[in-house]
Amino acid sequence: MVTMALLTSVAGAQYKGKVFVDRNGNKTADGPEKGMAGVAVSDGQHVVRTDQDGNFNLPGHAKTRFIFVTLPSGYKLADKHYLKTDDKVKAYNFGLLPDPSSAGSSVKMLQITDTETDKYNDWIGNLKNFSKKQDISFIVHTGDICYEKGLNFHANQVTAETLGKQVFYCIGNHDLVKGAYGEELFEQLFGPVYYSFDAGPAHFIVTPMRSGDVQPSYTVDEVISWMKNDLAATDKNKPVIIFNHDLLTYNDQFVLKGKNDSINLNENNLKAWVYGHWHNNFVRKSDKTGIQYISSASPSMGGIDNSAGQFLSIEIDKDGVKEIKPHYTYLHKHLVVNSPSGKDMVLIKDGALQINANIYDSETMLKSAKSIIYDEKGNQLAATALAANTDWSWSGQVPSAKLSKGKTLTIQTELSFNDGQQYIQKQEFILPLSNHPVKSAENKATHLSLKWTNNVKGSVWKANPLLAEGKLFTATIDDANNLLCGVTALDAKTGKIAWHFKTRNSVKHAISYDSGLILCTDMEGFTYALKASNGTLIWKKDLGMKYLPGYVSGGIAEKGIYYTGSGAYFQALEVATGKTLWTNKEWTGGEGTPEKMTIAGEVIITGSNWQSLFAHDRKTGKLLWKRSDEGLRFRSSTGIYKDGKLYITGLNTLFIIDPLTGKNLDKIEAGYEFKVMATPLITDKYIVMPTAKNGVVAYDLKTLKEVWNRPTGNALVYSAPYTGPESGTVESTVVKHGHELLFGASDGHLYVVNEDSGAVLQKLNLGAPVFADPVLLGNELFVVDFAGNVYALKIN
């Protein structure tokens, strides 16, 4: 008996066919091959289930262009999930093959999005190899494959045939291109723009972007009508996961509305909405409904708000989303033991040699790590297993009693990965004869050596080290499960963790201190005031963020007022109580920007990416001026106020602006991209600015002419918007000590360079990107890397 989601007459059906088990894999329904009962098939409006012999009949409708099957759990497609309608076709047959990765009580998938490329690169190999090694069932691309070239490239290079796993595509706004109708090319390459499939215990629905660069032929009402029929033919107990290029709503109720029809997806067991479009990494879960909102940046390049390039693995079980993990692309057997290393990065603590390693591979997971210490003759002196701190950082220690000081020793680190591969690396180090290196009279240059290091058990993005009350504060992110995010305080002298406060979502920006309180705002717009001494929550405030993107900007505190938020929830809060003193009512929109607000006298400067640079009266919140010209709408970098002038960057220009009027006092039009999270450094001689692709550049403060450019290595993780291989990105602000400049880079190195020439004087390999700004306190430098390692370095 045929189960029909829409009551139609099969007698007048126009499209018939069969769903069968294609045991010989020839994509043809041969005589002995058994049909599959109960499989849903659609003509784009009507949905029916096959009878006991696998047969179906569909009536068709005015816009029928495809017949497509809802792939059942435990199977994969012998060919495609759709067949284009043609008057000459007598039967629409779909062959299926058993697939253990799609069966069982849970299923693993990968999400990629906004790849926007027509060039082959390593991220594609990362997907292929990760999928194979981790038993992934399928891959979903949530749109913005990008224009004609990108669409054709992906149809050839990012497919089930090339990746070895089923690949399902959503249509994005930039995938609606010129043709007879906006989705014409997409349909030619990838089939229907809305369809469904089952895997594991769940039902997955691919839905189209409602609008885009070219008007589509489908309407929202047509999509709703089909979704109702699709869900009516689905087991009500199955969790529903929806894929779309954009998020339907930031609210708790997912109601899709057309002109004449609507559907409440909360009433249909919706568990997650997986999307892209914003080029950022953001996951949240509704308190009221438990629905998860899951977004990822592109795997091919940095995100619009400087989010790290990645893809997501998502595990689904009967309750919905079980686990999410980000995977950063382009890294192969990456291993850097940053301590012990050479003479400068060696640390003895409580009679033990501290071992710290940053390890990452884009295609597999690290199973175990072990370090062995050898003397000059190759005799083994000590060995230890390393323990994981984060998905990058591993550490351990060995007794130092048998290790000779002043002698060259070797540390051999052995890695074992889940895919069975092994990797071994050796490097030399020397235990110092003294714990207090002395700077010679001949060498007065800044020289760094490790004082202490610790890990805060989460990744650190732009939460620069903050020193107050004898402690060092930073904040962690968790762009997956929102478990590892929060604020951590360490003893500034020893590195011992004093306290940790768990926040609701990731704290991505520079945190603030005022009147004994640590202040920060998370990605969901919740602001926290924590007692600096012990981490006690003094107050918490929902700023009223009701729309995307997630909040990544840095607030600023001064004289008892904390300025935070963006758009309609940008406001001034009383530090002591959290009371709102004023709220911006004059602008909204744009995307996330990681810049920190700048106080310029009585003016507060903020911005919105792809929107404008804004200046407000700091006492009243009144908008004084805004600018979106000359690349100033592309906001990433923080401004600096000095001698009555605001120094701030646009896309390719460094501006010197009057903060009262917004008018240019001067500018440097450069051949560099300045869309990084760093702040310009103004010395008595130079303006020094990091770049997205070319390291750091210095300009003469008086003439504004370029003096030098210090390139850095290729970024380990791409973060600056639209950057990919090869990009020498520096997201970290440069700091000055004596006649030297110090900064961390995305190539994982900490640099000491000459202020006048940019020549490298010292280069320490930390092994993980440094996005946060370093902080100087006397003769100590504090640095935090993306792996969550905090370093205190002595300046000798």
Q: How confident is the model at residue 435 (pLDDT cuts 50, 70, 90)?
A: low
For range 650-654, the mean pLDDT: 96
C-alpha span between 186 and 177 (Å, rounded): 8
C-alpha span between 424 and 316 (Å, rounded): 35
Output the CA torsion sign for 523, 529, 532, 534.
negative
Say if CB 757 and CB 696 are below 8 A apart: no
Say if CB 373 and CB 382 are below 8 A apart: yes
In the structure encoding, which two tokens stand for residue 57, read together? 């009949």
**What is the predicted pLDDT for the residue at 30?**
80
Whether the pLDDT of residue 6 is over 70: the answer is no
Please give the domain boundaries of the chain with CATH numbers for all domains: 1-97 (2.60.40.10), 99-328 (3.60.21.10), 336-430 (2.60.40.1220), 681-796 (2.40.128.630)
For range 705-719, the mean pLDDT: 98
- Spatial neighbors of 275 by CB under 8 A, at least 6 apart, are 113, 142, 243, 244, 245, 246, 247, 293, 294, 295
**What is the predicted pLDDT for the residue at 786?**
98
**What is the predicted pLDDT for the residue at 346?**
97
Whether the pLDDT of residue 61 is over 70: the answer is yes
pLDDT digits (tens, 9 = 90+) for 501-513: 999 999 999 999 9
Whether the pLDDT of residue 414 is over 70: the answer is yes
Give the length of the chain.
796
Q: Which amino acid is at 674?
A: F
For range 401-430, the mean pLDDT: 96
Say if CB 634 and CB 650 are below 8 A apart: yes
Whether the pLDDT of residue 42 is over 70: the answer is yes
pLDDT digits (tens, 9 = 90+) for 596-640: 999 999 999 999 999 999 999 999 999 999 999 999 999 899 999
Neighbouring CB atoms inside 10 A of 387's CB total 11
Whether the pLDDT of residue 442 is over 60: the answer is no
Whether the pLDDT of residue 3 is over 50: the answer is no
Strand partners, 475: 487
Residue 403 CB-density burial (10 A; 0-12 exposed, 13-18 middle, 19+ buried):
buried
Closest CA to 407 of 433, 388, 387: 433
For range 551-574, the mean pLDDT: 97
**What is the predicted pLDDT for the residue at 2?**
36
Q: How confident is the model at residue 270 (pLDDT cuts 50, 70, 90)?
A: very high
Whether the pLDDT of residue 1 is over 50: the answer is no
Say if CB 624 and CB 660 are below 8 A apart: yes
**What is the predicted pLDDT for the residue at 440?**
42
| DSSP 8-state symbol, 506 | -
In the structure encoding, which two tokens stand for residue 153, read together? 């490239």
Contacts 24+ apart (CB under 8 A), 655-659: 655/630, 659/600, 659/601, 659/603, 659/605, 659/615
Instruction: Provide the strand spans (E) within 352-469.
Output: 352-360, 366-374, 380-388, 393-399, 408-417, 422-430, 448-455, 466-468
For range 92-110, the mean pLDDT: 96
Whether the pLDDT of residue 670 is over 70: the answer is yes
**What is the predicted pLDDT for the residue at 4?**
39
For range 32-49, the mean pLDDT: 95
**What is the predicted pLDDT for the residue at 197?**
98
558-596 burial code (b ≥16 CB/10 A, e <16): eeebbbbbbbbbbbbbebeebeeebebeebeebbbbbbb
Give the three-state DSSP class for 223: helix
Q: Which amino acid is at 165?
A: K
pLDDT digits (tens, 9 = 90+) for 292-338: 999 999 999 999 999 999 999 999 999 999 999 999 999 999 999 99
Strand partners, 370: 385, 414
pTM here is 0.96
**What is the predicted pLDDT for the residue at 436?**
53
Report the percent of the chain where pLDDT is more than 90.
94
Neighbouring CB atoms inside 10 A of 93's CB total 24
CA distances from residue 185 to 115, 180, 276, 594 in whole angstroms, order as listed = 17, 9, 21, 36
**What is the predicted pLDDT for the residue at 7?**
33
666-685 burial code (b ≥16 CB/10 A, e <16): eebebebbbbbbbbbbbeee
**Which strands form 645-649's sheet, in the order they lie side by side?**
640-642, 645-649, 653-657, 664-669
User: Of 128-132, 261-265, 445-449, which gets the smallest average pLDDT?
Assistant: 445-449
Q: Which amino acid is at 656?
A: I
The residue among 146 and 440 whose pLDDT is bigger is 146
pLDDT digits (tens, 9 = 90+) for 722-743: 999 999 999 999 999 999 999 9
**Which strands form 740-744's sheet, in the order they lie side by side?**
735-737, 740-744, 749-754, 760-765
In the structure encoding, which two tokens stand for residue 767, read together? 């092994």
**H-helix or E-strand spanning residue 133:** helix 122-133
For range 664-692, the mean pLDDT: 97
**What is the predicted pLDDT for the residue at 26?**
82
**What is the predicted pLDDT for the residue at 25?**
78
Q: Which amino acid is at 670?
A: A
C-alpha span between 605 and 751 (Å, rounded): 30
**What is the predicted pLDDT for the residue at 329?**
98
What's the chain's average pLDDT?
95
